[in-house]
Structure 1
Amino acid sequence: ENLGHPVSSKNLNDGLTVELRNFQEQAVSWAIERENVPGGIQSFWWSKLPNKVGIGDLYYSPGLDMISPKPPKLVRGGFICEQMGLGKTVISLSIILQNPAPSTLQSGTLVTEDALDTASNGWSSTDNCAQKIGESNKCGSIFSRGTLVVCNVSLVGQWVDEAKSKLKDPGLVYPYYGQNRNRDPIKLAQNSIIVTTYAVLASDMQRYERNKGKAGSKWDIPPCESVRWWRIICDESHCLRSSQTKQTQAVKRLVAENKWCVTGTPMNTNLSDLRSQMEFIGIENLNRMFDCFKGLGKTGGKNMPRCFRALERFLLVMRSMMIRHSMNQTNISSGRELMELPKKTERTIKITLTKEERKAYNTIEKSAMEFYRRLRMQEDERVFNRKYLAILQKMIPMRLACAGGPVSQNATQKCADIDKGDKDRFHAKPDEHTECSICLNDFDDARATACGHIYCKECIEGVITAMDSSTGPCPICRREINLEMLRQVTFADNEVGDEENEGRDDSPDFVFKSKFEVLLRELRLIRVEDPEAKSLIFSQFKTTLKWLQTELVKHGFQFRTLSGDMTMKARAKALRDFQADPPTTVFLLSMRAGAVGINLTQANRVFILEPAINPALETQAVGRVHRLGQTKSVEIVRLVVKESIEERMIHFLKDRYGKEYSAVKKSTLSESSDVQSTKNS
């Protein structure tokens, strides 16, 4: 984590409207060194061997345990992986400010060999793309002394606001977003900071591919790809972890002198999550590198020596291109914590369902268990393991019941917010579809496009509405799709599916209210203690959030909401209203759309309505309030239904993630309290 890296003697606060903390100055100094190291960051794990026998130059890497006759390619940049809430944005802005591009070349001019040869130190003469230097309208053919920031759609407005507020002279800051964005690459290159989204880059790439070769087409190359940027910053870069997505492919085609991956969670559950991010930065020999890392995590017996060797190589390479600080670290000289944030307390409220709710829940659970047993009996072990998506789908009605709100009594076959009718369904085989190609997680409320590709409902809506439209290209095949034509997906083979459909009826919805009653009690207590205190409420289910919108108004609570299907303008307005309007004390957030990157320090209480299969989502949710800029004590409240799938999920996550997950939950569960609905007394 490079804790011993020296801080630059240069005044790193010059030009900022805020003062950097010591660890932020260390991160900026480290990053500037990586942008200026003569041989690039790969020189940290490569060295030239002495030539005593006259056989030519040879280079050796102890980290990769290999010899090469060629020097490593000049690569500048790396990973900035500060823990959530430690100011990754202001660190990035300081890097932009303190290490500008050489002034000898003007933004918007054509890249030529002569221009690179006469440039002062900083611009490399190495062509980082497949096109020839000097060709107009080609990849990286236009100089820009600016920085391109790529982020999620929900962060565009925040990045623009941060640049304008944190920099004394931000220069030209342009959000490259929306249908009316200026697609002239020369105009783009003349801005100081350009903020765009992963979805916009993918859309531009697909538009270029559709129009390539057509007479009169202006789209010979996507605008951002035409520019040779001084710097590219990929915010929340963990979304690049799959090389198969259009977003990742579009980002990797960009050309820049310095490339940074900025994220608090560079890996989710697998070391391979780093690979596509390294490809974007330009790291070479990745096959060899990850082959050397294979022994990581394999401890015990004969595996120990291999594990230690892999760990040594991993640390040698990663320490050279990654820096990370965490809140629990201490300053070596003073012994004080890096961040003295306000106190954070966590507690879990265990909720007992009413007798009527328990009866309805048991009916849903019984049907799911029958499906599981029948599937288990029909298939052998290998086939059964490939059908876990069908099983996950059967778990959703139970999770919806625990989350609260109306759930169909026939919910064993449908999610609460899915249109009824087989004509609106898409039947898929679980062994042919494994995960959403946008979020790379198991499907959550899966939807199929007209072209037959399947995504999470919120993911595909977020990608399409990022274009401020209800239509757009399919991320996989690029065919035009319409949000109104999306179909619910049923993961089940024909035999099991037909049996499950027998005896279906249109029973009325049953409303689960116990969790909401506990939430309402907590919100009322907060309002009595501090009428202007603001709270965040996270749920993974859109139907639960919609139901809460109706119920909160009935009880006198004003709210704003943020979901994946909102346009950027609607998101920005919701954020402004919540931050600036005192009577608005509740923000309803989708765990996927609202838990990443957003700064919501106006709130100091977080309610998590359901446990997440991916614990990183909960960590991101907490990080929205317990971060730099928070001035009040923070309370995290998790609501868990007793004797339900939620309790079993928590035990499963403890077993899966071990001490790391248990450490988060230990203090929480020890402070838990049992709550029983008054209707059950």
Structure 2
Amino acid sequence: MHRMLPQFDFANRHCDGFSNIVTYHGHGREGDAKALANSDIVLSTYHTISHEASDKESPLWQIKWFRIVLDEAHIIRRMSTKLFKAMKKLCAKFYWCLTGTPVQNSLEDLAALISFIRAAPLDDLHKFRKHVIKPLTKGSENGVENLRQLLDSVCLRRTKQLLNLPEAVFELHPLHFSAREELLYNDTRDKLVKLINKNSLKSKNQKGYLGVFQLQLQLRRLCNHGTFQRASLETDEFDPDQAIALLKKQKIAKCEACAVTITGIQGIEEKRNGSFTVCGHLLCMKCVPRLKSTLKSIDGRDGCFQCSLCPEIVFGNYLVDEECATNSKRGSKNISAWQYFDKEGCSTKVSTIVNDIEHHNTEGKSIIFSCWTRSLDLVGIFLQSRKIPFVRIDGSHSLGQRKWILENYQRDSVVKILLMTTGTGAVGLNLTIANCVYLLEPQWNPMVENQAIARVLRLGQKRNVRVVRYIMKGTVEEASHNKTVG
């Protein structure tokens, strides 16, 4: 199961003797189970399988497959999700998982893969916790040995050294704010700290843990946007995965509306115990309906509200939808990017990265990764002003659009720059035509960066890959980077 259908071309190139290859995806796909069973290879997507989970008549459930192979298998790491349950519903003789990052946030990510491949008895989550996670948490050697034996028996590992891949040359560019940017950064930090402290005093039980996350989120975004950044937030800047990662580090979570402690951070990740708003608030399930009812319509416009917990203007849905968060983030994509920026602003980071691109533009094709669509908007504005051709892929593009954009990027010698969100570009793509990766900001989860780099540094890459990171000195970015490397 692939996430990106363009990758399926590999079957025609490398699978000798398999002449009957069927794509089970999109409108008009083959609905006859017998026809699918008679094919050599059936290619599909995670979204298609998940969508048909409740369709009892789907041919997917009528066939006992010989082998099911999941590419980018870490996508199914959340065991309570509709996607994972749909994949487990498939019946086969053999089950394979392909991934470069089997563990992203916790060992339960690995437990999901073990469960999918039916590696008994540890395919049961309770037994996996008992024999692997709990002993490891307590520092027991039994946990280490159990995990080693498990992986030795079910895992075939291919490192970059074994594959004889080219080298990755890493560059770190520490940057200093301009005087205007530093003034704005310090002023924003001080105001937000005061606001968090004020809210924390409302209840002695409220510690403002997510308030700290929101502070870091705004400051990190400011590191990219500089004085282009307006005072208000946009709804597409909140990343629930990063918030979950922070909560797991702090090992505590509280509802920002009632200050009750939310037990089980895994439950938040699976939307059982709590839910995030698109503007970054964590709410317990009791407060969700109450807060939604208090949303204030802005100027009577449909789908445009003001959050009652912050000055955020919310477009569309108030809560982050786990099943389609990526595709719903850009509800206002038809609005000019300039609406979100101060035209008189400046950004040291974006100016530097565009200068670097101009300097190295003759050396090959490059990819610029950012976790924020707004940051890519700003980079795009700068590239256009320098008349540098580029293409872009983010969560708003359909599979068909992504395929066309990638083909254009690969074939057009004039287009050497690809802008891509990490959530989109870090999964399921082969981008070996590029040999330079620009990481606009450090990630709290280093696996996200590794996945992005792996899109370029993989089988088929013939050149050394240049990886450039940008860090604003004396900011939350530097602190985040130091924790990751330290």
TM-score (normalised: structure 1): 0.57
Which of 120, 129, 132 is the equivalent residue of 1:290? Answer: 129
Conserved 8 A contact 2:278-2:320: no
3-state SS of the aligned residue for 1:635? strand
Question: Residue 347 in 1 paired to residue 171 in 2?
Answer: yes
User: Unpaired segments of 5 or more residues in structure 2?
Assistant: 238-255, 281-313, 334-339
Conserved 8 A contact 1:201-1:251: yes
Amino acid at match of 1:650: H
How far apart are 1:604 and its partner, in Å? 0.9
3-state SS of the aligned residue for 2:26? coil
Corresponding residue of 1:327: 160
Q: Distance in 1 between matches of 2:439 and 2:185?
A: 21
Corresponding residue of 2:73: 237
- The structure in which a higher percent of residues are helix is 2
Which of 274, 279, 288 is the equivalent residue of 2:115? Answer: 279
Shift in alpha-carbon separation, 1:277–1:380, aligned structure 2, 3 A: farther
3-state SS of the aligned residue for 2:42? strand
Shift in alpha-carbon separation, 1:314–1:601, aligned structure 2, 3 A: same
Conserved 8 A contact 1:396-1:415: no
Output aligned runs, 1:211-610, within 5 Å.
Answer: 220-285=56-121, 286=124, 287-298=126-137, 307-328=140-161, 338-380=162-204, 383-384=206-207, 388-404=209-225, 407-411=228-232, 414-415=233-234, 435=268, 437=270, 453-455=319-321, 459-462=324-327, 511-527=345-361, 530=363, 533-610=364-441
Conserved 8 A contact 1:397-1:415: no
Conserved 8 A contact 1:402-1:512: no
3-state SS of the aligned residue for 1:640? strand
Q: Distance in 2 between matches of 1:342 and 1:313?
A: 34
Conserved 8 A contact 1:353-1:514: yes
Amino acid at match of 1:196: S
Shift in alpha-carbon separation, 1:435–1:406, aligned structure 2, 3 A: farther
Which of 16, 23, 26 is the equivalent residue of 1:178? Answer: 26
Shift in alpha-carbon separation, 1:435–1:562, aligned structure 2, 3 A: farther
Corresponding residue of 2:290: none
Corresponding residue of 2:249: none
Corresponding residue of 1:74: none
Q: Distance in 2 between matches of 1:516 and 1:449?
A: 27
Q: Distance in 2 between matches of 1:519 and 1:442?
A: 36
How far apart are 1:373 and its partner, in Å? 2.3
Output aligned runs, 1:12-31, within 5 Å.
Answer: none
3-state SS of the aligned residue for 1:511? coil
3-state SS of the aligned residue for 2:325? helix
Conserved 8 A contact 2:277-2:320: no
Q: Distance in 2 between matches of 1:238 and 1:380?
A: 40
Corresponding residue of 2:462: 631
How far apart are 1:221 and its partner, in Å? 3.2
Amino acid at match of 1:515: K
Q: Distance in 1 between matches of 2:133 and 2:436?
A: 41
How far apart are 1:453 and its partner, in Å? 4.9
How far apart are 1:263 and its partner, in Å? 0.9
Corresponding residue of 1:111: none
Q: Distance in 2 between matches of 1:507 and 1:340?
A: 45
3-state SS of the aligned residue for 1:612? coil
Conserved 8 A contact 2:315-2:331: no
Q: Distance in 1 between matches of 2:177 and 2:21?
A: 52
Q: Distance in 2 between matches of 1:248 and 1:317?
A: 21
Shift in alpha-carbon separation, 1:450–1:191, aligned structure 2, 3 A: farther
Q: Distance in 1 between matches of 2:45 and 2:257?
A: 31
Amino acid at match of 1:292: H
Question: Residue 157 in 1 paired to residue 6 in 2?
Answer: yes
Q: Distance in 1 between matches of 2:450 and 2:477?
A: 18
Rg (Cα) greater in structure: 1
How far apart are 1:245 and its partner, in Å? 0.8
Conserved 8 A contact 1:266-1:273: yes
3-state SS of the aligned residue for 2:160? coil
Conserved 8 A contact 2:95-2:116: yes
Q: Distance in 1 between matches of 2:417 and 2:278?
A: 25
CA RMSD of aligned residues (A): 3.2
Amino acid at match of 1:163: A
Conserved 8 A contact 1:459-1:564: no
How far apart are 1:264 and its partner, in Å? 1.1
